[in-house]
């Protein structure tokens, strides 16, 4: 048996999924996309049931990756039972998706979640009435309290059936559906999509397009609008008969602070600053402990084994990749994800997007783009993957440049380890300031020269709520797991590759070739470019390599403050790491990736040279 959870973003699907499966979840990347499908197994009455968490969507008739994926999933009958998770507080809007899914006529059940919040808002949902109307079993749940979650599996396994509802469409649309069915022999959901221009059969699309034009001529409205309106009105009818609303006194609305320009903008800046500062402080403190203990407990014993040189090199490269990975993953990225999940669970992120909209427009983006940028402070890889929430090519391109420049956790390690430790904490902050200024200049420049259309923000504001500790922890854990699964293998592979290069003496050749140039331009010692090269593979490796090549961990004794500062800033700006390049390639294509690499290399060298001249 296979059960899939379908629902709007923020309806609590993932939470239900986690409660049903526990934390033993595997994350599957869907072939050819960057959308992830989470799958997990549950045992119920000694029978194995597979559970799939589909990405949250508002509609099935769209062309975004998520919508296409879920649609194909339904078309192919990807699951035996579809459990539609609906948000009780927004039932009408959520039923819009349900009625679309019902057109594919899979076996379904309805899970109305967040019933606790609905009760607080004075909404009373009549499950029996709703169930008899929709023709499928309805369960009222409150996932955050765990209420009724245990009923989902038995009901899904025993009582699921195809929904009875069918949206009554405008009579022109109905006539079109009937005609297409008659002449083309295609089912209703395919025809509805074809009328909106979606599908892969050219003959069907042609015929449907001709009818759509007729209908549009008669209605002075696009077929999309007509169909959407019909569905919404139908959903409204269902909601009206099944939901009783009693007025409640409105409590104080925090939004009057958060979504105004004042004090909304200062609050946003403070929140981001506090987030970054705490990651910086907590991260550097924890990292030192982890790296230290890993060295004494794993690396020293390994080197003591004295394996043959080649195997020693490969094993050593793998271990330092693990060490660096964990040294970043838990102290910096996990701390960051805790903060990020906290901001998301309180519902603050959508407010941040709203108040940032104006500023982001100046950068050629819009409010929603702040979300990938903030994620970028943790790790650039998931930030690039989240670029798909931006809808146009232009926005994705600009945001890809900016995200590649945002100082991620690994770069924070370099700044903390080199500049804050040996030069001074204020100098460390000055690097952030320089990066931000460059970031803004880059964005302003790009927004003038990037071709393409700008598409504004349309974001649903998530309700403000008090976050629950265990939920924040679970979410952060899920995210860090994604990092470990995606970034870690890349870290290990590049580290081994680098180890082999070093083993066959190629890095020395590189050093002799580039060394004189960097020492002239940047005033850095001859071994610095090798460290910078390593930094391309993994940003924080630059720091470790520098220490190895300099022969001491006390960098202050072998390099001047100016040299350390220059090294750090070049490394921070200079080309994103290979893992980032790999996801960039997938998300925005080879051309933009190449331009970003070249641009950042030049930017790094130029700024480094300028600082070198200024500090002499």
Chain residues that interact with other proteins, rule: CB under 8 A = 58-59, 61-62, 89-90, 92-93, 96, 171-172, 174-176, 178-180, 182-184, 197, 202-203, 206-214, 216-222, 224-225, 228-229, 232, 255, 259-261, 350, 353-355, 357-358, 361, 366-367, 391, 453-461
Q: Give whole-number Cα distances, 589 to 363, 393, 584, 595, 596, in Å.
A: 22, 11, 7, 10, 11
CA dist 447 and 454 (Å) reads: 10
Q: Considering beta carbons, is residue 118 or 406 the nearer one to other proteins?
A: 118
Least distance to other proteins from the beta carbon of 228, Å?
Answer: 4
Please give, one letter per residue, the 3-state secondary structure of 510-531. HHHHHHHHHHHHCCCCCCHHHH
Calculate helix-pair angle for 335-345, 261-294, nearest 10 degrees. Answer: 150
Least distance to other proteins from the beta carbon of 174, Å?
Answer: 8
CA dist 231 and 490 (Å) reads: 45
Looking at 220-369, list the stretches that DSSP marks H as alpha helix, in order from N- to C-terminal side: 223-242, 255-258, 261-294, 300-304, 309-328, 335-345, 348-362
Tell me which residue of 502, 498, 489 sits closest to 537, measured CA to CA: 498
Q: Considering beta carbons, is residue 191 or 409 the nearer one to other proteins?
A: 191
Least distance to other proteins from the beta carbon of 11, Å?
Answer: 12
CA dist 387 and 401 (Å) reads: 11
Query: What is the DSSP pairing of strand 107-113 with strand 81-87?
Result: parallel
Q: Considering beta carbons, is residue 208 or 531 the nearer one to other proteins?
A: 208
Helix or strand holding residue 108 (H, E):
strand 107-113
Tokens representing residue 520 in the block: 């002239």
Q: Considering beta carbons, is residue 183 or 552 the nearer one to other proteins?
A: 183
3-class state of residue 42 by DSSP: strand
Least distance to other proteins from the beta carbon of 217, Å?
Answer: 7
Least distance to other proteins from the beta carbon of 211, Å?
Answer: 5
Contact in structure between 461 and 449 (CB atoms under 8 Å): no
Least distance to other proteins from the beta carbon of 222, Å?
Answer: 5
3-class state of residue 142 by DSSP: strand
Contact in structure between 139 and 205 (CB atoms under 8 Å): no
Q: Considering beta carbons, is residue 455 or 602 the nearer one to other proteins?
A: 455
Contact in structure between 205 and 191 (CB atoms under 8 Å): no
CA dist 508 and 83 (Å) reads: 59
Least distance to other proteins from the beta carbon of 473, Å?
Answer: 27
At residue 127's C-alpha, the angle toward residues 125 and 129, to 5°, is 100
Residue 437: Cβ-neighbour burial (10 angstroms; 0-12, 13-18, 19+): exposed
Least distance to other proteins from the beta carbon of 229, Å?
Answer: 4
Contact in structure between 115 and 91 (CB atoms under 8 Å): no
Least distance to other proteins from the beta carbon of 474, Å?
Answer: 25
Q: Considering beta carbons, is residue 202 or 551 the nearer one to other proteins?
A: 202
Q: Considering beta carbons, is residue 159 or 181 the nearer one to other proteins?
A: 181
Q: Considering beta carbons, is residue 126 or 255 the nearer one to other proteins?
A: 255
CA dist 573 and 596 (Å) reads: 11
Least distance to other proteins from the beta carbon of 242, Å?
Answer: 15
Q: Considering beta carbons, is residue 26 or 214 the nearer one to other proteins?
A: 214
Least distance to other proteins from the beta carbon of 169, Å?
Answer: 12
Q: Considering beta carbons, is residue 389 or 438 the nearer one to other proteins?
A: 389
Tokens representing residue 456 in the block: 């504004």
Least distance to other proteins from the beta carbon of 150, Å?
Answer: 29
Q: Considering beta carbons, is residue 91 or 541 the nearer one to other proteins?
A: 91
Q: Considering beta carbons, is residue 172 or 388 the nearer one to other proteins?
A: 172
Tokens representing residue 55 in the block: 């990405």
CA dist 287 and 329 (Å) reads: 9
């Amino acid at each position: 048996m296979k059960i899939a959870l379908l629902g709007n973003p923020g309806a609590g699907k993932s939470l239900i999924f986690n409660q049903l499966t526990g934390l033993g979840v595997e994350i599957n990347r869907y072939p050819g996309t960057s959308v992830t499908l989470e799958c997990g197994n549950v045992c119920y009455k000694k029978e194995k049931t597979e559970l799939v968490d589909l990405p949250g969507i508002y509609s099935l008739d769209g062309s975004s990756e998520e919508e296409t994926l879920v649609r194909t999933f339904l078309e192919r009958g990807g699951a035996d039972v579809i459990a539609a998770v609906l948000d009780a507080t927004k039932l009408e809007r959520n039923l819009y998706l349900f009625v679309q899914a019902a057109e594919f006529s899979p076996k379904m059940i309805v899970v109305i979640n967040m019933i606790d919040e609905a009760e607080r808002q004075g909404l009373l949902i009549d499950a029996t009435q709703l169930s008899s109307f929709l023709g499928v079993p309805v369960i009222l749940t409150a996932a955050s309290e765990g209420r009724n979650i245990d009923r989902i599996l038995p009901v899904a396994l025993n009582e699921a059936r195809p929904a009875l509802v069918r949206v009554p469409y405008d009579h022109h649309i109905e006539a079109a559906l009937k005609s297409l069915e008659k002449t083309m022999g295609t089912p209703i959901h395919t025809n509805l999509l074809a009328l909106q221009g979606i599908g892969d059969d050219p003959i069907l699309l042609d015929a449907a397009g001709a009818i759509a034009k007729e209908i549009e001529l008669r209605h002075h409205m696009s077929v999309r609008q007509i169909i959407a309106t019909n569905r919404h009105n139908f959903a409204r009818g269902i909601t009206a008969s099944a939901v009783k609303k009693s007025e409640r006194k409105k409590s104080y609305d925090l939004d009057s602070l958060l979504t105004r320009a004042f004090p909304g903008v200062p609050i946003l800046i403070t929140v981001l600053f506090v987030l970054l500062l705490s990651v910086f402080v907590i991260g550097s403190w924890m990292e030192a402990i982890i790296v230290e203990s890993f060295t004494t407990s794993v690396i020293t014993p390994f080197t003591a084994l004295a394996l043959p040189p080649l195997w020693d090199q490969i094993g050593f490269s793998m271990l330092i990749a693990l060490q660096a990975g964990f040294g970043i993953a838990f102290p910096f990225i996990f701390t960051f994800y805790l903060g990020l999940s906290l901001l998301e669970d309180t519902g603050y992120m959508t407010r941040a997007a709203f108040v940032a909209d104006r500023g982001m427009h100046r950068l050629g983006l819009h409010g929603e783009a702040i979300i990938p940028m903030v994620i970028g402070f943790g790790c650039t890889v998931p930030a690039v993957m989240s670029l798909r929430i931006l809808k146009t090519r232009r926005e994705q391109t600009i945001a890809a440049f900016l995200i590649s420049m945002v100082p991620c956790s690994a770069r924070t390690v370099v700044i903390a380890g080199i500049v804050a430790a040996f030069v001074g904490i204020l100098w460390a902050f000055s690097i952030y300031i320089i990066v931000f200024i460059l970031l803004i200049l880059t964005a302003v420049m790009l927004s003038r020269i990037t071709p393409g259309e700008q598409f504004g923000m349309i974001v649903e504001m998530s309700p403000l709520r008090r976050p629950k500790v265990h939920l924040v922890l679970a979410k952060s854990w899920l995210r860090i797991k994604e990092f470990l699964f995606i970034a870690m293998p890349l870290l290990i592979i590049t580290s081994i590759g680098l180890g082999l290069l070093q083993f066959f003496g190629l890095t020395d050749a590189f050093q002799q070739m580039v060394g004189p140039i960097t020492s002239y331009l940047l005033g850095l010692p001859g071994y610095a470019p090798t460290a910078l090269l390593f930094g391309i593979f993994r940003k924080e490796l630059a720091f470790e390599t520098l220490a190895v090549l300099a022969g001491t961990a006390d960098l202050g004794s072998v390099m001047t403050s100016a040299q350390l500062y220059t090294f750090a800033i070049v490394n921070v700006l200079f080309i994103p790491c290979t893992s980032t390049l790999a996801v960039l390639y997938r998300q925005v294509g080879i051309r933009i990736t190449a331009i970003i690499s070249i641009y950042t290399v030049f930017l790094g060298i130029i700024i480094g040279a300028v600082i070198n001249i200024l500090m002499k």
